[in-house]
Amino acid sequence: MRPLDEFIAGSVALVIDGSLHMEWRYSAQIHGRETVVRWAEAALSNLRALIAPREPAHGYSAADFPQARLNQAQLDQVLALIAGVGDEEPARDDE
């Protein structure tokens, strides 16, 4: 892997004590600070969009189980059944 200094712009991300930390590096001769701030804001927006589906349904998203071919409502029903609070089988899209 090449050092980040060889690139015109880039970011380094790591998780420390459960928190995501990102460092943005760029050439000030090529990019203005406002541009890099826009990139960082876009990255943050994309990260929020990725984790947003996990908030409903006991922390699981239908995307977590692609082979089950369930939509979010169906997954919610399955999770309710597992938790003992549901009373019927989820309907499948292909039925």
For residue 84, is it left (φ>0), alpha (ψ between -120 and 50) or beta? Answer: left
Number of residues in the chain:
95
Q: Where is pLDDT greater, at 19 or 84?
A: 19
Instruction: Report which of 13, 32, 16 is spatially closest to residue 24, judged by C-alpha positions.
Output: 13
pTM, full prediction:
0.48
Q: Are 21 and 14 in contact (CB under 8 A)?
A: yes
pLDDT in tens, 33-50: 999 999 999 999 988 887
H helices then E strands: how many in the chain? 2, 2
